[in-house]
Structure 1
Amino acid sequence: MRVLITGISGFVGSTLAGYLLSDGFNQPLEVHGIVHRADSRIQEIRSRLHLHKGDLRNSSWVEQVVEAVKPQYVFHLAAWSDVRASWDQPWAAYELNIGCQLNLLEAMRRHAPDARVLVVASSEVYGLIEPDDIPVDEDTPLRPNSPYGISKVAQDLMAQQYWFNYGLPTVRVRSFNHIGPGQSDSFVASAFARQIAEIEGGLQEPVLRVGNLEAERDYTDVRDMVRAYWLALQYGEPGGVYNVGTGSSFPVQELLDVLLDLSNVQIRVEQDPERLRPSDVARIVCNPDRFFRKTNWVPAFSLRESLTDVLQYWRGVTGALSSERSKSGQRRQ
């Protein structure tokens, strides 16, 4: 079975690749991945992957890869994922999320029309969620309120259109917030954890800068999320759409409290206006019932387990950085 993962070296893509190649996975797979730039996250499994380095914005190159691989399953994970930064660079979000997917789906319908394709949208497609919308199901109106959200709506509806018009068996998931080890510090849990790890390592003053602590979100560990993505392609209806989340929400303050509790130093918390979004919905909770019924997927990681692993990841990163700085200082002496 040939699998193609776009964005395989990203946070979610690398976790998915590791899951598909793990000893506990019960199907032998030939895993191909599209890499654009850095591939440090997949170094440990690189020898077991078939990598294709290039740019999804290049339609001719994408077509060559799809024609050569002839994948049977495709996980389209390459994307612009920073909601806050999309306000500063809206065109980049549109180009990377809409244009790259268009190139991929065009190549798929020509060279692998029977392959099942997972298109990952986001809870941001729902945008301005009203209190009466909670918990958010798949029939909740789409009211995107950021450039990123608009780009994900376009991806979502494009996938549906390729099923309607070309019979390409796309499956859409609207995933709610991810957390887990390896996530960029442009996301809230990693932003907190990195600062705490740097404070513990003496690399930063004992002040943790935060944005809006009142917003409530539905957080799923990335290791649970990639299991959900596999199940979505296995059991999801072509053209169908599924919300993926835990069905519970936590305020950002609770994430901060858990991480501070896991730390061994005293830290002062200060609000940073630069970390506030231009538009921030107060509460978002996923209604995952449709997906639960279809796949029997159940999240395995608790919020505290996830945050423990996020903090340990950043302790490892900052520990390596601190060690390198120490060696550099010794060389200069």
Structure 2
Amino acid sequence: MIFVTGGAGFIGSNFVLDWLAQSDEPVINFDKLTYAGNLNNLTSINQDPRHIFVQGDICDTALVATLLATHKPRAIVHFAAESHVDRSIHGPGEFVTTNINGTFSLLEAARAYWSGLDDAGKAAFRFLHVSTDEVYGTLGPDDAPFTETTTYAPNSPYSASKAASDHLVRSYHHTYGLPTLTTNCSNNYGPYHFPEKLIPLIITNARAGKPLPIYGDGQQVRDWLYVSDHCAAIRRVLEAGRLGETYNVGGWNEKANLDVVHTLCDILDQLDPKESASPFKGEAGSGMGSYRDQITYVTDRPGHDRRYAIDARKIERELGWKPAETFETGIRKTVQWYLDNQEWVRDVQSGDYLNWVAKNYQQRDENRGDKLGTA
């Protein structure tokens, strides 16, 4: 049995679904169910006895300790985190609480549990911490991609809190011998992605006839990784990663944000053209033309990192993992998934989500000054 934190979130729920599709090993899914935790992501395994869901907070060390003692997992896979840069700018306290204090509490519970195992149990146990490439800071246009030895230089409250959690995990291995593994991944995309992030936001706004907001000039570059590829990498690291090591997980797909948005608009133009009588489009989205017509530019976020890029050669060299999806294949699958799952989209577009989008993008729209134009 494995113990997964944050298993109702975007990456966590994809991991749980992929895990149970490929293994009979049960999962304890531990999630606080904040705004981004969504049990609808897990509807297909509601009746699966291998999936045991427990609502709870990773800061609750006593509850985690009880669950570990009761279920005796052989591994903890730690996804639970606050993960949106803009939210961290508006409210950094939650990021410190969850990402730093929560990881500390989880490590303490794991250390106590691991210390009580017999020798065989100790040798088999793993604590896998899922982190982000944002801890490394930003790159210039000609800089080499991030490697596992790149110096940490986080530039937002979110990335700083994740950097702190990475350091805590490392320290628990070197100080206490806890058998830890860390993965630092690039930008994920795919099914069940909460529509505050770029790709699902563009898809849902486009179909609703709303503006497609682009920060600054749209030339921020990210390395894009299809979520199922990330899940496969985590399974492989859990299976064969060297203890105490970090593995960077990337898609080898560097794209400027504006290019991603153009690609999404072009795919939507093919799969769901504006002239189609879609009941999910708003009035502004029901006419002729391209979805590119809805692109608008808004004030850039404070301290926006210009470029991320992952060097994923270590995980390929040591563990034989590389992504199965190209950006072209993965992004088309993603758009099709959102078109096929409108009920899920409607369910997540509830009060909290709408209030957040209004607060974040309306404020930027008001502050942007002269609009740069459309593309």
Question: When the two structures are superposed, what TM-score results if normalisation uses the length of structure 2?
Answer: 0.79
Quick one: distance in 2 between partners of 1:273 and 1:30? 45
- Report the counterpart of residue 329 of structure 1 in structure 2: none
Deviation, 1:314, is 2.9
Matches within 5 A, 1:14-93: 14-22=13-21, 25=22, 27-37=23-33, 38-48=38-48, 49-93=51-95
Partner in structure 2 of residue 250 of structure 1 = 255
- How big is the shift at 1:315? 2.6
1:140 maps to 2:146: no
Distance 1:132 1:210 in 2: 23
Aligned twin of 1:94? 96
**Residue 338 of structure 2 contacts residue 345 of structure 2 at CA under 8 Å; is this kept in 1?**
no
Q: Alpha carbons of 1:45 and 1:154: their partners in 2 closer, same or farther (altered >3 Å)?
A: same
Q: CA deviation at 1:53?
A: 1.7
Cα drift, residue 50 of structure 1: 1.2
Task: Find the residue that maps to 1:87 and give its secondary structure.
Answer: helix
Quote the Cα distance in structure 2 between the aligned partners of 1:9 and 1:270.
Answer: 31
SS in 1 for 2:323: coil
Q: What is the aligned partner in structure 1 of residue 266 from structure 2?
A: 261
TM-score computed with the length of structure 1 as normaliser: 0.88
Equivalent runs, 1:46-195 vs 2, <5 Å: 46-48=46-48, 49-113=51-115, 114=122, 115-131=125-141, 133-195=143-205
Cα distance, 1:271 vs structure 2: 2.9
Give secondary structure in 2 for the equivalent of 1:21.
helix
Residue 285 (structure 1) shift: 1.4
Report the secondary structure of 1:112's partner residue: helix
Distance between the aligned counterparts of 1:230 and 1:286, measured in 2?
19
Q: Which residue of 1 aligns with 2:331?
A: 307
Deviations 1:148-189 (A, max 9, x none): 111111111111111111111110111111011211122111
User: Residue deviations 1:236-263, cap 9 Å, x none?
Assistant: 1111111110233111122112111112
Task: Report how many aligned residue pairs link the two structures.
Answer: 312
Given residue 277 of structure 1, which amino acid in structure 2 is its aligned partner? R
Whether the aligned pair in 2 keeps the contact of 1:249 and 1:285 (CA below 8 Å) is yes
**CA distance in structure 1 between the partners assigned to 2:139 and 2:346 by the alignment:** 43
Q: Percent identity?
A: 26
Q: Which runs of 5+ in 1 are unaligned?
A: 324-333
Secondary structure at the aligned position of 1:181 is classed as coil
Mapped partners of 2:295, 2:266: distance in 1 = 17
Aligned to 1:208: 212
Partner of 1:271: 296
Q: Which residue of 2 aligns with 1:6?
A: 5
Does 182-191 or 27-36 show the bigger shift? 27-36
* Residues 193 and 67 of structure 1: CA distance in aligned 2, closer, same or farther (over 3 Å): same
Residue 318 of structure 1 and its aligned partner are, at CA, apart by 4.1
Where does the alignment leave 5 or more consecutive residues of structure 2 unmatched? 116-121, 275-289, 348-375
CA distance in 2: counterparts of 1:132 and 1:272, whole angstroms: 26
What one-letter code is carried by the residue in structure 1 that aligns with 2:145? P
Q: How has the CA–CA distance of structure 1 residues 66 and 320 changed in structure 2, closer, same or farther, with 3 Å as cutoff? A: closer
Q: What residue number does 1:331 align with?
A: none
TM-aligned CA deviation for residue 62 of structure 1: 1.6
Q: Distance in 2 between matches of 1:286 and 1:158?
A: 22
8 Å Cα contact 1:125-1:144 kept in structure 2: yes
* Kept after mapping to 1: 8 A contact 2:126/2:180: yes
SS at match of 1:47: coil
Q: Return the letter of the residue paired with 1:283.
A: R
Provide the secondary structure at the position in 1 that maps to 2:248. strand
**Aligned counterpart, 2:310:** 286
Any conservation in 2 of the 1:66–1:112 contact (CA below 8 Å)?
A: no
Residues 166 and 321 of structure 1: CA distance in aligned 2, closer, same or farther (over 3 Å): closer
Please tell me the root mean square deviation across aligned C-alpha atoms, in Å: 2.0
Moved more, 265-274 or 163-172: 265-274
